[in-house]
Structure 1
Amino acid sequence: MKKAIFFISFLILCLLEQTQAQSAIKGVEKPNIVFIYMDDMGYADLSCYGAPENSTPQMDKIADKGVRFTNFYAGSNICSPSRAALLTGCYPPRASMPKVLLDTPKGLSYDLETMAEMLQKRDYATALIGKWHLGYYDEYLPLNHGFDYFYGVPHSHDLKVNGELPFYRNEEIIEKNPDNSTLTTRYTEEATKYIREHKDEPFFLYLAHNMPHTPLAVSDKFKGKSGHGLYADVMMEIDWSIGEVVKELKKQGLAKNTLVVISSDNGPSKKQGTHSGSAGPFREGKGTTFEGGHRVPGIVYMPGTIKGGQVIDDMVSQIDLYPTVAAIAGADLPDYSIDGYNIWNTLTSGEASPRKDFYYFNAKNIEAYRKGDKKVHKAHNYRGIDPDAYNDNKENGKLKVVRKKLEASVFDLSKDLGETNNLIQEEQGIFDEFVQEMKTFQQHVYQTMFKPEVKEGVAGAENTQKKKGKKKKGKKKKAKA
C-alpha cells in the first residue's frame, strides 16, 4: 500500500513539474522571442519618447499597440557589459563582463547560461543577426554561447583588430571591412529571411543593430531623407528596419505568437555632438551612472496577449527579460543567482513591477543606487562633455570630453529627472542607508560573480583559461509566472 501511495505521489509530482515547464501564456506553448537592440540609441531618440526631429512612425505604432516603459534600464551604461546583462539576467560584474571589450583576449564566461542556451533546451532555433561584442576570438563567438546561427560582426564597426573588421556567417568570415552604410539593410533582409525560414518552429531572434553608434552610416535610400541631418537619417532607417521585421511576422501569421522587445544597450554617446542621440530630460549619457547613461527606450509588443496603448512608469530593467522569457517559454532558470525579476504579470495583468530598486555599476563598482524615486550617488569622477569646446568634425561631430567630479548626492527623480538638485543636506539618513545597501550588495556580487574566459598565449591574457564549453552543473530552478 505504501509503495502504491509513493508511486501515485511521484506521478503527481511529475505532472506538476511538466505543468510548471509550460508557457505562462495560455494557449501558447513556446512563443517566438524577438529582441531588437540598438547601439547608443538615446531615451529621446524616438518620436514617442519626445524626439522633435527624428521620424520613427513604425516604432511609435508598435509602442501604441503594446507597452512603452518610461523607467526602463539597460544593465549597464556601456556596450559589452549591457549585452552580457541582457543575455544572462545578471548585473555585468556577475555576468563576467564588467568592462567593454576592445582588443581584448577575453570573452563571456562559459559557466553562464545565456538566454539562447536556455531556449535551445526548449528546442528553439536561435539566431544572432548583427553585433555580438562579447568576445571576438573564434571560441567566444555566438555559436559557442547558444546561438545556432550568426550573421554579423564580432563587435562595434569602429573597432578594427589589425585593421580589419570581419563579417561572419556562422563560423566563416565572408567579408572583411564591410561597407557600414549597408549594415542596417543587410541585417534587416537576413532577419526577415530567418523569420520566413523558421516560421514553423519556435525561434529566438536577437537582431542587434550597429547603428546609431558612430561612425554613422546610412544607405542611399535614406540619405538626406529626414531633412534633419545624418543622425535623423540613421534613425529613419532603423525605424524602417523594425517595421519590416514586424511586417514579416504579420505576413507569416506569427505576430500574436511572438514577443517583440525594442531597446538600446545604453544612453547616447554625448561626446559625438551632432552625431549623438538625445537623453531628453536626463543628465549626461553613455558611460555615466546618471539617468542619461542607463535609462533607455523600452517597447514590448505581443498583440492579443499584451494590451496595447499602455504606458508603464514602474521601474524595470533589461536584466528582467531573462526570467520573463524563461517563464513564457517554460524554461528552467540556472542554479546560480541572477538579478532579474519576472515582469510578465506587469506586462499582461497590470500588476506592479517586482523591481523596486536598481544598482548602477561602473565597471565592478556600484556608483549609484535607486530605490523608489530616491537615487544616491557616491562621490565619483566621470567623463562629461564641454559644450563650449564644440568641434564640428564632419566625420564624427565630437565635442571635447572633460573629466568632471560629482559630490556625494541624493536626488529625488520624481521632481528632478536631470539630477541637478542635491538633497544630501536634508536627506543624509537616506544617503547613509543607501550606501550601506550598496556595500552589502557589492560584497554579495564579488562573492558570486563569474570570471571572463581568457585566451592563453595572447598579450594581456592571464593564465586562467577554462576549457571550451565547460558548463556549471546543478539542479535547475523553475521559472514561474
Structure 2
Amino acid sequence: MKNSNKNKSLKSFLNLTTVTFVMVFFSIPYLGISQDPQLPVKPNVIIIFADDLGYGDLSSYGHPTINTPNLDRMASEGQKWTNFYVGASVCTPSRAALMTGRLPVRNGLTSSEVGVFFPDSHNGIPAEEVTIAEQLKSAGYATGMVGKWHLGHKEEYLPTSHGFDDYYGIPYSNDMDHTGKINSIEEYFGRYTDTYEERTPEEFNVPILRGTEVVERPAKQNTLTKRYTEEAVKWIKNHKEGPFFMYLAHSLPHVPLFVSDEFRGTSKRGLYGDVVEEIDHGVGEIMKLLEAEGLDKNTIVIFTSDNGPWLSTGISGGSAGLLHEGKGSTWEGGMREPGIFWSPGYIKPKLVTGMGTTMDLFNTFSNLAGVAIPADREMDGIDLSPVLFGNGDSPRNEVFYYKGPELYAVRVGAYKAHFITQDGYKPNTLAKHDPPLLFNIEQDPSEKYDLAKKQPEEIERIMQVVKEHNSNMIKGPDLLKDRG
C-alpha cells in the first residue's frame, strides 16, 4: 500500500514537472524572453544620425582640435567600430538604407540624374517599403523621430506615415528652399564656395514640422541642434516606461553651418568644430537623462552619420581623416563612418574592426524585438548580435558601393575592387577601370596602392561575389528624377 502511494506521488510529481516545463518552454516566445541569455529583450533603441560628418571629425576617431568628450565616452565604454559603412554616399539613399535595411537601388530611392529629394520632388519612400520604425512599432515600441527626414516631404511620405508615432524636424536638407533661387548644385558652389559660414537662416525657407503641420518657417537654424536635443529628451522622458525607439537625425554639420550662441567660437576648428561640439553636447544630455532615469542599462544608443564630409564646401566641410575622398564618392571617405554602440547593460567595451553597415540595424533590432524580417523582398542587412553582445566576429564580409543605380565598387574581406571611380562632385574625374583597381583596405585604408596586377586572384574572387549579387538584383524605378 505504501509503495502504491509512493508510485502515485512520484507519478504526480513527474506530471507536474513536465507540465511546468512545457508551460515555461512554450511561453518563452510569447513573454518576449530571449532563449539566449546574452541577448537583450526588446531594448530601448536610440539612433543618433549626423549629416555629412566625416570619419575623422571626432576626437575618438583622430581629430586633433574637435573636442567630443561625450561621444568619446560612448566609444570607450561601448563599442567603437572602425569599418562601419552607410548604404550610399549622399543623403536620401543613405537614409533609405538605414530605414529599410535594403540597398536603395532596390526600391528606387537613388538616381543617376538627381542625387536626393528636393522641395519640388514628386515622390518619396514607397508605402510598400517596411521601415525599422514599423518593425519596432509592431512589437509594441513607441516610435519617435526628431530631425531631418529627407525621404519625401508630402504627407504620405513623412515619418508619421512610415511607422513613427511622433515627428519634429525638417523634411529635407537645411540648404534647400533657397530664397536666392539657385537652380543647380554647380551654381550653388559657384556662388558660395568657401562662404557658407556667412549665410543667414533667412536665406533658406526651410520649414519645421510637428507631425505633418508646419510650425515654423523659415526654421531658426541657429538653435536647431539645441532644439532637436530638447525635443528628443522630452520625448524619451514621456516614453520612459518603454520599449521605445528614438531616431534623432541632426541636420548638421551639413552646410550652411549654424550654431547656438552658447557654442559659437568655442572650438579650435572654427564654426564647423563649434557645430560638431554642440552635437556632442546633445549626446551628453541624452546620456545624462538615461542614467538619471535608470534607462541606460536597458537602452542601446548608436551614433553614426549619413555619409562622408562634403569636401567641395572647403573649410566649411569636414574631414575623412586618413580615408580617401568624401561625400558623393564611393571611395572609403564617402561611405565609411564613425560607428559607436553604447549600452552599459548589454555592450562591453571593445574595439571592433569587423565590418558593419547601417542596414544591419534593421535586422539586429528586428530580431531583438522578436519581429520577423520581411520575406517577400531581398534584404541586405545582417544581424550584428554576435559581435555586439558576445565574443563573435562580425558576420558581415561584404560591402557593395553603389552610386545611383550603378555598382562602383565591392569589398570582400580585406580587399576592395573599384569598377568605376569619381571624386565627389567632380564629373571630370569619372573613370571606368578594366581591370578594376584593387586595394587591401585593411593594410591600405587610404586606397593608395593598386594591387590589381599583383593579386588578380582577389579580383576574380570579388567578381564571383558580384555575379551572385547581380543574379538577384532587381532595380526599382528611379523615384528621385520626377521634379517640378
- Choose which of 429, 433, 446 in structure 2 pairs with 1:418: 446
TM-superposition CA deviations, 1:371-398 (whole Å, max 9, x none): 111110013444467xxxxxxxxxxxxx
The alpha carbon displacement at 1:414 in A equals: 2.2
Q: Give the secondary structure class of the aligned counterpart of 1:379.
A: strand
Mapping of residues 30-429 of structure 1, within 5 Å: 30-99=42-111, 100-102=116-118, 103-160=120-177, 164-308=205-349, 310-336=350-376, 337-383=378-424, 403-405=429-431, 407=433, 408-429=436-457
CA distance in 2 between counterparts of 1:450 and 1:11 reads 46
Q: Give the secondary structure class of the aligned counterpart of 1:107.
A: coil
TM-superposition CA deviations, 1:23-63 (whole Å, max 9, x none): 86669542111000000001111111001110101100111
In structure 1, the gaps of 5 or more residues are 1-7, 386-400, 462-481
Contact 1:267–1:296 under 8 Å retained in 2 = yes
The alpha carbon displacement at 1:428 in A equals: 2.6
Contact 1:94–1:450 under 8 Å retained in 2 = yes
Contact 1:131–1:208 under 8 Å retained in 2 = yes
User: Aligned residues, how many?
Assistant: 432
User: Does 1:445 find its partner at 2:473?
Assistant: yes
The verdict on how the C-alpha distance between 1:202 and 1:286 changes in structure 2, with shifts beyond 3 A counting, is: same
The alpha carbon displacement at 1:367 in A equals: 0.7
CA distance in 1 between counterparts of 2:368 and 2:231 reads 26
Q: Give the secondary structure class of the aligned counterpart of 2:361.
A: helix
CA distance in 1 between counterparts of 2:40 and 2:443 reads 42
Contact 1:382–1:405 under 8 Å retained in 2 = no
Q: Give the secondary structure class of the aligned counterpart of 1:223.
A: coil
Structure 1 runs (4+) deviating above 6 angstroms are: 10-14
Higher helix share: 2
Contact 2:43–2:299 under 8 Å retained in 1 = yes
In structure 2, the gaps of 5 or more residues are 1-18, 180-203
The verdict on how the C-alpha distance between 1:226 and 1:315 changes in structure 2, with shifts beyond 3 A counting, is: same
The verdict on how the C-alpha distance between 1:422 and 1:138 changes in structure 2, with shifts beyond 3 A counting, is: same
After TM superposition, the structure 1 stretch with the greater mean CA deviation from structure 2, 99-108 or 237-246, is 99-108
Aligned AA (1:280): G
After TM superposition, the structure 1 stretch with the greater mean CA deviation from structure 2, 24-33 or 67-76, is 24-33
CA distance in 2 between counterparts of 1:230 and 1:403 reads 30
Contact 1:167–1:174 under 8 Å retained in 2 = yes
Between the two proteins, what is the percent identity of the paired residues?
A: 39
The alpha carbon displacement at 1:17 in A equals: 5.0
Q: Give the secondary structure class of the aligned counterpart of 1:186.
A: helix
The alpha carbon displacement at 1:452 in A equals: 7.0
CA distance in 2 between counterparts of 1:153 and 1:425 reads 49
Aligned AA (1:122): A
Q: Give the secondary structure class of the aligned counterpart of 1:445.
A: coil
Length-normalised TM-score, structure 2? 0.84
